[in-house]
């Protein structure tokens, strides 16, 4: 029973971390702006494909994260400390920085195209550098489990967290007009501030995990 609870807790940790770093409500204003002038079917299609692309990008980060670290000779501890620092800085900026903060800030784009699903919505709005840093950080933890059963189970749970996060992003974008009216500018800022505080906590946790990995020679 404790074995199952452990893996479910890993799923919850992954899901909360991804929801915090992607911060779906913060995507509402730009999504509305990018899809302005599109009909209802086109906007729903943009939301669907953006969520699918983001899920694929996140899954590749989870799958290939350890391979990239091995290729560049980066230790798990170094990645966690660097990723934790990056996530904590993003959280700090969301708390005390710009008025409409976004952890995966998209560059300005021309609004005269018909497809924004992959760029800039999926990447970097949803699956940006901050999101990938969080996922690769989790992938290093998965690789350190001594038993392959734990590795397979936690990898599956993290994949499930990616799918759930993508579904939430899709649902928010699909109902962007409704959510935007209900939340309003103040509601979006309040949620972003809360997400920023949680990001700082996640970043500090990653840094602590990285220091511990260094201490034991990881």
Domain boundaries, given as residue ranges, for the chain: 26-215
Quick one: pLDDT band at residue 218, thresholds 50, 70, 90?
Answer: low
Q: Which residue has the higher pLDDT, 97 or 129?
A: 129
Give residue 2's pLDDT: 55
Quick one: pLDDT band at residue 217, thresholds 50, 70, 90?
Answer: low
The number of beta carbons lying within 10 Å of the beta carbon of residue 132 is 21
Query: What average pLDDT does the segment 37-45 reach?
Result: 89
pLDDT over 90 at 45, yes or no: yes
Residue 111 exposed, middle or buried by CB count within 10 Å (0-12, 13-18, 19+):
exposed
| Percent residues over pLDDT 70 in the chain | 89
Query: What average pLDDT does the segment 12-22 reach?
Result: 92
Whether the CA torsion 150, 209, 6, 126 is positive or negative: it is negative
CA-to-CA dists, residue 66 to 57, 70, 115, 120, 201, angstroms: 15, 6, 32, 26, 24
Quick one: pLDDT band at residue 11, thresholds 50, 70, 90?
Answer: very high
pLDDT over 90 at 14, yes or no: yes
CA-to-CA dists, residue 5 to 1, 67, 82, 146, 206, angstroms: 6, 29, 29, 18, 22
pTM across the whole model: 0.77
pLDDT over 60 at 74, yes or no: yes
Return phi, psi of residue 39, to 5°: -80, 170
Query: What average pLDDT does the segment 172-177 reach?
Result: 90
Give residue 108's pLDDT: 47
Q: Which residue has the higher pLDDT, 125 or 169?
A: 169
Give residue 98's pLDDT: 54
Quick one: pLDDT band at residue 104, thresholds 50, 70, 90?
Answer: low
Quick one: pLDDT band at residue 102, thresholds 50, 70, 90?
Answer: low
Quick one: pLDDT band at residue 146, thresholds 50, 70, 90?
Answer: confident
């Amino acid at each position: 029973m404790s074995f199952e609870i452990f893996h479910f807790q890993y799923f919850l940790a992954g899901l909360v971390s991804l929801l915090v770093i992607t911060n779906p409500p913060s995507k509402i204003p730009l999504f509305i702006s990018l899809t302005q002038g599109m009909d209802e079917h086109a906007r729903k299609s943009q939301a669907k494909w953006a969520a699918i692309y983001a899920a694929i990008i996140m899954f590749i980060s989870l799958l290939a994260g350890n391979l990239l670290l091995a290729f560049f000779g980066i230790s798990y501890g170094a990645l966690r400390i660097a990723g934790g620092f990056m996530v904590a800085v993003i959280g700090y900026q969301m708390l005390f920085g710009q008025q409409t903060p976004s952890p995966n800030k998209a560059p300005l784009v021309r609004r005269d195209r018909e497809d924004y699903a992959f760029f800039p919505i999926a990447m970097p709005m949803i699956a940006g550098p901050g999101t990938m840093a969080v996922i690769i950080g989790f992938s290093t933890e998965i690789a350190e489990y001594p038993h392959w059963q734990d590795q397979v189970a936690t990898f599956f749970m993290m994949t499930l967290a990616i799918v759930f996060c993508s579904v939430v992003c899709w649902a928010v974008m699909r109902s962007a007009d409704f959510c935007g009216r209900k939340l309003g500018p103040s509601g979006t800022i309040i949620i972003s501030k809360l997400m920023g505080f949680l990001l700082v906590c996640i970043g500090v946790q990653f840094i602590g995990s990285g220091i511990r990995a260094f201490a034991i020679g990881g």
